[in-house]
Amino acid sequence: MKNHYLVVLCALLVVAGTIPSATQTIRTTSSYVVDLPERRLSNGLIQPPRRFVVERPAPGTIVPGAIIVRTKQSHGTLKGDRVLGTSLANVDLAAVNVRDISMTASASATTLRSLDARITGLDRTYTVRFEEGHDEFELCRTLMNNPDVDFAVPVYIHKLFYTPNDPQFASQGFLNVIRAPQAWDITKGSADVVVAIIDSGTDWQHEDLAESIWINTKEVPNNGIDDDNTGYIDDIRGWDFVGNVTQQQAMQQAFRPDNDPRVSGTNLDGVRAHGTTVAGNAIARTNNGKGIAGVGHDCKILAVKCGSDVGGVSGIYRGYEGIIYAADMGADIINCSWGGPGADPAAQSVIDYALSKGSMVIAAAGNDGQPFENYPQAPATLSGVMSVGSSSNNDRVSSFTNHGWQNVLYAPGENPLSTYPGNQYRGQTGTSFSSPVASGVAALVKSLHPDWTPFQIMMQMRMTVDGLQGVSASERGRYFGRVNAEKAVKFNRSFTSGDRVPGLYYQSHTIVSGQQTITTLEPADLTVTIANALADAPTATVNIAVLDNNVELMSESSVSMSNVTQAASKTFPMRIRLLPTYPWYQASILVRLTILSGTSVNIAHFEVPTQRTTTNSYSGSSLPADWLATFTHVDFSTSSNVLWAAARSNQGPIGLVGSQSGGGSLIIYPYNITALEAMASDRAIVGGITQGRATTSRTVPGQSNWANTDVSSFLTSVDGIHSYDNTNIVVVGTGVGGRLGCGRSNNGGQTWQSVSSTPTLTTSDVIVNKGVAFLGDRIWAVSASGRVCRSSNRGQSWSVSNLNVSGSVVLSMAFRDSVNGVILYRTGSGASTAYRIASSSNSGASWQANVFDVSTLRITPVTVSSPGGHHVIVGSRGEVYGSDDNGSSWQPILSKPAGTVSTALAVIAEGESAVLLGGTEFGVLSYRYSGPNGTRILSAPTEEIDFGVMNIGQNRQRFVRFENLGTSDVSVTSVAFLDENNQPVPHFEVSATLGPIIGVGTSDQLGVRFRAPSTPGTYRATAVVIVDGTPSEFRIPLVAKVDDPSSVIDLTQTARLAPNPVTDVLVITFADSRSRDIHIIDGTGRRLLLTSSESAIVRLSTSDLSPGHYTILVRDGLTTSSARIVVVR
């Protein structure tokens, strides 16, 4: 299924709490990968390698007509330019009518020329604005192939992480929960410690904040001069990066920055008041006889406004520029109570910059209730950021908080009382308010330890947390603990005495082979580095677990270390191997390290990317997380190339219809459907239960409503619908009176005639929703207990067979043709019972149970399906395996992780196989499958290949065609050029790669090039091609002849070469003028320079040549002459 035929939900306009009523254009989706290597920052901090999978964003979550581009070379400090210097990126940008190009960081020239800016790439990161209407994501994907582009990403809009509450005066019980009063007995903070609040704006005139506001003493107030040369004029109390702009102006990035970080106006809503509330949670003035107490007590607030003054304008804009500003102004802590979905390498560069300046970045985890694995957030999940989740005052994980191993810790976030504009006090809920609580604690730690790095502060807070209630030991990696302010300032007052705790952590890893990713099933050796940020650890134990069932840990699962001192590191070897059942072509292997030292425990995770070669392609996207949507049904009409999908959500039953042209619309279903039949872009029929009654519903062409038909007279559930044409339709499900229910319609589903002679089911038995299959005139329907009802005449009459496995529970059934089918079932009803496959080779008349144990695939299966010709089984993470022997064996069909999958359907579209997957995201896997049980017969000529007679410096190419005559794909393992002793031979090389897969009925060519060396003679080799077919080895003789010296004239007899030896320029003086081709050839016969000239005097540059011996070869159409030269330096 080609991508332009796919329609995906990600491109629908997303507005929280609403569903667009108008038809929207839906674009195809895909993703691209940005790999950032390990970075060593100027202060010595090591940022580990990081892979970003950039998915297509939903419109409404990015700024239209703008992208961020980081080039490989800096092209100067741009502002309002129309071209990107001399960058090759201009070639791709030419198609979008660029309006202006400016530095993404609106910082001073001094900042952009700094070492930190160069290391982190800020000096070559540009925001490109262009004419709206172009596809920002596709432009980024195009630029990723540009030789001067490191990466290109959309400009994301970030939201505030709060849940509005009615104004109320709540107690500050959370301060006692985190033991803040006890911490204040040790330190009340320091006015030298500054916490930057990057937010909607801060009311610096509030009675409980005014004394806590940082003042820029390097700036003379209101003189209109940038006294401190930072690029910001009169920034006495911070900066406003956005100003008084409308939503339209914000989307156009027509900002109005000024030097007042306070939100103007009165009666501010929760969005515009957000920053003031966040600031109070962190550092409201404490012990001043007013209002409330802030965790950071006497520390200071740097106010940075990144929201609009205008009511109704939601979102944080220029937040990352605010981070750069705060870091440049010397902020010790930078709080970000905002963020958004997606992986953002441009944002990572900003975080790296802030860390290199000594600023600690703390971010709210987000309020979507989602695991980070499926829902990454920026900045929360960026490397080096302390992500903070929300907990309640009774130390339970808040239901709304995002969670995962990337969360460093949790802090109270449920309605903590704080400041509110206009000298008010209110409580609000969300991780937005957990984050500043943690920032306040971080400020206290920084006050005691002014020389500590951001990472040391983060480790100190993590290693002194209290455990959360209701969190098991196996879950602690996801919910590590709640911040304890007292312990954070009490421990490690000294690294040599008193209460101490080590800070052992995962620092980095490398793949010994030097690769950045694992690409094969061969064992991969890693070197893992553990370091200590805090007090000495006399002993340590690292317990290692690979959190992927299809990856084997081949080395020890526990490693002991001794004497890991403060600021020291230790390494250990680790070996892993992708098992043959590994299902992904692009993914990351998650490794968990449980690091123990005495009573201290840290749980660290790291990812090892995998990238395997395949022709398969997966595209996927999800609806907004706050819709809580799960795709339950998908269908594809092969006759009209139309895709329909249905989802359950808190917005109601919603779905998608998409056409071959790539357009489509978001639709509303009449109820949560249990059966779906796609017929055309404006025609479908569905079934389900509404108001307690089984119902079918059909679209009405030209209208947006559905026409319902009550089928409860013969059905209690609707589990399958199939249309043979626009009028003849069959519906199947659990029937009334303990029977199979079946109805037939000859008027497009307007009315139904029930089939009376249907098989009976056992007591309390029901037809399985994924257990109805249609193929031609045949229908199969299986019950949960394994009773298989089948019809060969469109449901007019039925017969019955049984699985005959006592206590089994059937999950799904599929037929690949009219004869061969499989059933996925469990051996019992318990949660730990095994999954098995049963098969039939006689149209379901009888079944053989237990033909395959699904546990060997190491997945939790969801369903079986078939596009025809083979079966597929789909796992709960989107794993797909194929079988060409009716379920007796299964092989991985390489894909990418697809979130949590609950339904899948295999189809044929445009002649290609595809699997539609639904769950937390909707995705499409386009694939080729050729099972292992067919023949692999490969044909290729094996006679000698003659390259003919060649002159010195020439190269010549020959091709060998390989053809697959079998019924299974053939994999090419290796190609080598060997002599009679099986040793590698020089001068022969691959010019066109063979394979790596030669599909059934296809052919491929191996290109071989011979480069004539400077020594004449006859050269022979054997091309040895190893495959997994028959035969398994091809040996093809190769021969080439290089001219004898007698046929080449001595060039020095007819021309003068000077100087020789030569340094930079060789001058050749001929006796006459004529057309000549002049070559410089190295000792291996490789041509390094070719020039043509008709002059009697020719100058050749040798400045780029390495010192050594070379051959000058001259051809004039009549003779060939050569001479040796020596290049020196």
- Please name the residue that has the structure tokens 């993404």: 104
444-458: per-residue pLDDT in tens? 999 999 999 999 999
Rounded CA separation 603/405 (Å): 8
Give the list of residues 6+ apart from residue 883 with CB closer than 8 angstroms, or none.
Answer: 822, 852, 870, 871, 872, 873, 889, 890, 891, 931
Q: Answer whether residue 848 shows pLDDT above 70.
A: yes
- Over 90: is that where the pLDDT of 952 sits? no
pLDDT at residue 664, as a whole number: 61
Residue owning tokens 């004039």? 1116
Q: How far apart are CA 918 and CA 598, in angstroms?
A: 46
Annotated catalytic residue: which of 432, 434, 785, 1122? 432
* pLDDT tens profile 482-502: 999 999 999 999 999 999 999
What is the three-class DSSP state of 399? coil
**Residues contacting residue 515 through CB under 8 Å, at least 6 positions apart:** none
Closest CA to 131 of 85, 100, 88: 100
- Block residue for tokens 């807070």: 461
Residue 649, both tokens:
């959500």
Highest mean pLDDT range out of 168-182, 768-782, 942-956, 1030-1044?
A: 768-782
pLDDT tens-digit series, residues 519-570: 999 999 999 999 999 999 999 999 999 999 999 999 999 999 999 999 999 9
Q: What is the 3-state secondary structure (H, E, C) of 48-110?
A: CCEEEEEECCCCCCEEEEEEEEEECCCCCCCCCECCCCCCCHHHHHHHHCEEEEEECCCCCHH
pLDDT(18) > 60: no
Q: Shortest CA distance to 207 belongs to which of 257, 299, 276, 161?
A: 276
For residue range 907-946, list pLDDT tens digits in order: 988 778 999 999 988 889 999 888 888 778 889 988 999 9
Q: What is the pLDDT of residues 591-619, one digit of tens each?
A: 999 999 999 999 999 999 999 988 899 98
Name the residue type at position 784. A
**Residue 208 annotated among the catalytic residues of the structure:** no
Task: Say if residues 413 and 391 touch (Cβ distance below 8 Å).
Answer: yes
- Catalytic residue among 116, 148, 199, 208, which? 199
Query: How far is residue 684's CA from residue 697's CA, in Å, rounded to a whole number?
Result: 8
Q: How far lies 333's CA from each of 197, 355, 446, 603, 635, in Å?
A: 9, 10, 9, 24, 51
Mean pLDDT of 204-208: 94
DSSP labels for 936-979? -BEE---S-EEEEEE-TT-EEEEEEEEEE-SSS-EEEEEEEEE-
Tell me, yes or no, if 432 is annotated catalytic: yes
- pLDDT value for 252: 86
Q: Which residues pair with 1019 in a beta bridge?
A: 1040
Catalytic one of 274, 722, 871, 1079: 274
Q: Report the pLDDT value the prediction gives residue 663, as an integer from 0 to 100.
A: 53
3-state SS of 855-923?
HHHCCCEEEEECCCCCEEEEECCCCEEEECCCCCCCEECCECCCCCEEEEEEEEECCEEEEEEEECCEE
- Given a contact cutoff of 8 angstroms between Cβ atoms, the answer to whether 130 and 93 are in contact is yes
CA dist list (Å): 594 to 473, 475, 541: 11, 12, 8
Per-residue model confidence as pLDDT tens digits over 714-748: 999 999 999 999 999 999 999 999 999 999 999 99
Which class for 644: exposed (0-12), middle (13-18), buried (19 or more C-beta within 10 A)? buried
Report pLDDT for 153.
Answer: 94
- The C-alpha atoms of residue 226 and residue 1051 are separated, in whole angstroms, by 70
d(CA 656, CA 676): 12
Radius of gyration of the chain from Cα atoms?
A: 34
This prediction has a pTM of: 0.78
Give me the pLDDT at residue 1046, please.
Answer: 58
How far apart CA 275 and CA 262 sit, in angstroms, is 9
Least confident range of 249-253, 321-325, 886-890, 1079-1083: 1079-1083
Q: pLDDT > 90: what percent of the chain?
A: 67
- Termini Cα distance of the chain: 58
Neighbours of 284 (CB within 10 A): 32
Q: pLDDT for 861-890, tens place per residue?
A: 999 999 998 999 999 999 999 999 999 999
199 assigned to active site: yes
**1114: β partners:** 1078, 1121
